[in-house]
Structure 1
């Protein structure tokens, strides 16, 4: 055997930075990196950690906590999986498997964490708190849609192009007065109109079947939705001071869902940029982030987030043909200054 021929030996896996983040004495460092306090990470581990344990003969397998930290870091930063792997000292295939597994386990918590108000007591509490905002009566939820940008999908590509001309998943959600999400629908491509998403939803069927009067509660939506007995929208052309007051109170009250989306995307930057995965996986990531958002609300996590050290620039607009300077300027204005 030549002196440079050595038997194949498996190199032990080395986790360069995972443990450094959890062993630091500075909880703000952990919170900045994972958008969770150490106590909340402990709670997440207690919820799903036992389901992340896998029997394996490999050397130094990933612990449930390490899997959770890798996934949280991906959600928080929105970085490429390769960069996440480089951060934690694992290969990209491992990161991909871990993110998929932890995301699935978080999605399984949806029925425990995302609940629309159905009992009289629950509705009464929400109505009272919504009324305190601007005097709008009998509100049990605010509804709106937002778009999560995705890479160009291989199938049905044209269906994912939204009205702002980029590919996305249309996410529709309701929330209560606290900004806790009470329903989520993230299965429709970006070209789908908000009204259609709602009309074909389980939520619409539920409200249609259970709403018998104002006392059952109403949902507030913007003018993209039809005005229904259980879904109040603003007047398009208010013709009296009273109608204008209705619109003003409606806007102030409904604004809670816009704030909730804002907090969600600031907490999990993966939803703010471009998710580089297939639409089916993007749907699960959105749902997992909403589950974590609601848990953070329940556990009293702060919603002011420190700036990242390595913020990611938004994806560049793809322009067809050979546009001139004015066309490029208009495209930049339309896509980055709105």
Structure 2
């Protein structure tokens, strides 16, 4: 035992003697050394939009430290964009810009929080007034469905195995995830987001506990949402007929699904642009919620500024894709009457 203690003491002395020298790396500006196409390929945004983001969040980012050479706001934003664009490990992202893994982790968390604090209220906004009228007209042009103000659905975002309540995060496909509910408009913008629920939670439960549900119950919004059969049929949320018996009901289903598929396409656009959402977030549920929210905000900013490319692949989903859900939510009487009224008024004739 004495020999073991002597060896441990000797190793401790060696660690104190062999102090790692501090290395100050050259942190060049990638926006100056790359052309616009290369910048977009790496960070999913054009230089003008990146500068727009930096100007917005720079005041929220802490750059003054007791040590030398803090990471400037521009590089912090680039680190976060690279992280969500690739889903790579923090060490690999840091190597691309000459920054340590720990600094990358702090920067990514700080930028996500700053984006939410600065842009969330102005970007994730449910349409009202004249904007709601334009949204309804846009949905009407898609498939002729009347008075639609949004399409709602949930998507599973993979996360690391959580330390608390691990079983709650296992979804029906067998992996740990968050069940993220979103609402989109006809231009693929996200107008409502609820990202805090574990993967095992049912879509109907998430909907009933959301703030958007309560506002529709109170009559704050004039219009209807479209969802699949996982959602409860109500006067403001239309779902397909499970077994259509007439041609008008079949036309109702066809129009609803051609319109509702926009939310599926929105998920596809987001997960192509931000690969971290596709491959999964190796972090805790709370931090994953922050990253997902920031990605939704960036998605909307990209659409508004023309940085999000809508490819033909995103439109490959068809009507059958939204008819595969098995009905599990009980319809409400007011919803049955409202659906019958819409069917008779708009889909009686071909």
Measured against the shorter chain, the TM-score band is 0.7 to 0.9
Paired with 2:170 and 2:120, the residues of 1 have a C-alpha distance of 28
For residue 127 of structure 2, what is the aligned residue in structure 1? 117
For residue 100 of structure 1, what is the aligned residue in structure 2? 109
- Residue 43 (structure 2) pairs with residue 34 (structure 1): yes
- Cα gap change, 1:240/1:15 in structure 2, threshold over 3 Å: closer, same or farther? farther
Q: Deviations over 1:306-338 (max 9, x none)?
A: xxxxxxxxxxxxxxxxxxxxxxxxxxxxxxxxx
Gaps of 5+ in 1: 306-338
- State the SS of the aligned residue for 2:37: helix
For residue 298 of structure 1, what is the aligned residue in structure 2? 304
Contact 1:13-1:90 within 8 A present in 2 as well: no
- Structure 1, 294-303 or 240-249: larger mean CA deviation: 294-303
Cα deviation for residue 56 of structure 1 reads 2.4
For residue 253 of structure 1, what is the aligned residue in structure 2? 259
Give TM-score, length-normalised by structure 2: 0.81
- Cα gap change, 1:9/1:265 in structure 2, threshold over 3 Å: closer, same or farther? closer
- Residue 291 (structure 2) pairs with residue 285 (structure 1): yes
Greater share of helix:
2
- Cα gap change, 1:118/1:304 in structure 2, threshold over 3 Å: closer, same or farther? closer
- Residue 20 (structure 2) pairs with residue 14 (structure 1): no
For residue 131 of structure 1, what is the aligned residue in structure 2? 140
For residue 315 of structure 1, what is the aligned residue in structure 2? none
Gaps of 5+ in 2: 1-15, 312-350
Q: Deviations over 1:204-241 (max 9, x none)?
A: 000000168xxx21000011001000000000111111
Contact 2:299-2:308 within 8 A present in 1 as well: no
For residue 91 of structure 2, what is the aligned residue in structure 1? 82
RMSD over equivalenced CA pairs, Å:
1.9
- Cα gap change, 1:161/1:44 in structure 2, threshold over 3 Å: closer, same or farther? same
For residue 158 of structure 2, what is the aligned residue in structure 1? 149
Paired with 1:8 and 1:163, the residues of 2 have a C-alpha distance of 50
Cα deviation for residue 255 of structure 1 reads 1.1
Paired with 1:8 and 1:74, the residues of 2 have a C-alpha distance of 31
- Residue 247 (structure 2) pairs with residue 236 (structure 1): no
Q: Deviations over 1:128-159 (max 9, x none)?
A: 11000110000000001000011111110100
Cα deviation for residue 117 of structure 1 reads 1.3
Paired with 2:168 and 2:188, the residues of 1 have a C-alpha distance of 30
- Give the one of 47, 54, 70 matched to 2:63: 54
Paired with 2:107 and 2:220, the residues of 1 have a C-alpha distance of 43
Cα deviation for residue 304 of structure 1 reads 5.5
Bigger Rg over Cα: 2
Cα deviation for residue 6 of structure 1 reads 9.5
Q: Deviations over 1:54-87 (max 9, x none)?
A: 3224222111001000111001000011211222
- State the SS of the aligned residue for 1:210: coil
Give TM-score, length-normalised by structure 1: 0.83
- Give the one of 266, 270, 274 matched to 2:276: 270
- State the SS of the aligned residue for 1:272: helix
- Residue 178 (structure 2) pairs with residue 169 (structure 1): yes
The aligned length equals 295
Contact 1:211-1:217 within 8 A present in 2 as well: no
